[in-house]
Structure 1
Amino acid sequence: MPQETRRRWLQRGLLALPAALAGCVAPAGSALGFSARKNRAQWEYHNRFLASGARLRFRSHSAHGRPFTSGMEYVYRTHKRDPRIGYAVKNLATGRYLAEFQADKLFVGGSMPKPAVAAVLLEKRRGHLTREEFQNVVYACDLSRNESWYYLMARLTSADERYFERKYHLPDVQILNNSQSPRFYAEFYERCVNYRLDYGCELLLEAMRRDQYGLGRWVMPASITYIGGKTGNYGEWDHESLFFYHRNTPYAIVLYTRGGFAPRNELGCMMGGLFWEYCA
């Protein structure tokens, strides 16, 4: 084979390699290392999401670094074992839970399940969404649009949800019927941050990093530049959750509440208190 022809053949083979890897997806929990999983997810992000013409709308932003005051700490200490709440704090590198309280209790999720609904659709379609579907994933995650949430759910069944939970060894909750637990979302964030979902990890992470709501990030150090999450509220239900890197270690904090627990800044106090006690 002439040298020039051989060179072109090798170049074509190398260019095709990411696509071949993406098409031969290893099962969840396979021996693929973190770097390989991340590279695969980033290839998918650029060659499916961005190539579709859909776009993220906002920039990601850091934690804000405002003081965690003595008054906020008082609210946290007073309500740390309030029966109306449940929370989980997890080190996503080691898999160890640093704090749990009613972590398996089911709560009406409000808008909390929107990223998980998007993940179920990405799994069902093996990452091949239309431009409109990709854009609705973004709308559901960054500004929490209900119309986009309903749009995504209309394309799913309870069988899709059960398959997703079993495949990724997630707690058996009701994603589509909007009933989840703190442990479910801590585990979901672990799968995303460690690139253990076979489809859509980079898109989900980047979309949730552009979430426009949330109070906990205000009292975390401004040195935390990689941070994202989801909030939810509906009637008596108020929830907040975050994933982030602090000193090169990934964490998740998930807080669910009920009974009108948070009429003011209680969510921010609780999230900040959990961070400063267990992650800082």
Structure 2
Amino acid sequence: MKWFELGLVILTFASGIIWLLDRLLFAKARNARAGLLDEGKEPVVVDYARAFFPILLVVLVLRSFIAEPFRIPSSSMMPTLLIGDFILVNKFAYGLRLPVNNKKVVEIGLPERGDVVVFRPPAHPDQDWIKRVVGLPGDRIAYTDNVLYVNGEPAAYQPVGEYVGKGRGEEMTGATLLVEDLGTGPHEVLEIESPMFANHGVGEWTVPAGEYFVMGDNRDRSDDSRFWGTLPEAQLRGKAFLVWMNFDSAAGGVDFKRIGTRL
């Protein structure tokens, strides 16, 4: 995604500069020669730049500062997000950031507990990951016996039953489905009842200033802050808010019931 973003920025600026230079330096002289053979004809490169610059600029502004689409490639956020979900991410929820380097230029807001966020993990700065914020700066986080503790208080859990997956998420069939509440509203999580996962991700952490503790809702299939540490605020890309499409060929193609699901 980072290379696509870089390419979009380069193409936008290149087409804009070509169009601007032509208008300022060459267009008048070329128009004056119009009718003399083909000397008044606009060069092909200028024609393409004039046609594509407005389109590229609109796309760049929309995906950099308004909303950006992402596709869910893994099961780490099941059952909230399924493999094959296409989501929209609010790019201004946590401040306006420049494309490519992700530097914040305008402060707007900060993540809240329970937010589903897209970010670039410190160890993989060219990749976009998605998890749920469970710990804010200064929080004490603990995870043991499949229970999440925030500042010494356990999250509330309501068992739902056995999860039944489909398509590429079928491997999670048989996992325990629960509703977890961190005090900010309920969401579903999955746990695998097996001795193999008894100590998976167990530990205690204190979240430093300017950083966040993130976890996947699929607790035993998620590579998150329990294993690589807290997430710096500078790595945030935005807040996921909507599933606009789901396509999983292993589940029969498009799942129309997923379209419009809010996060």
Higher helix share: 1
TM-score by length of 1: 0.23
Higher strand share: 2
Structure with greater Cα Rg: 2
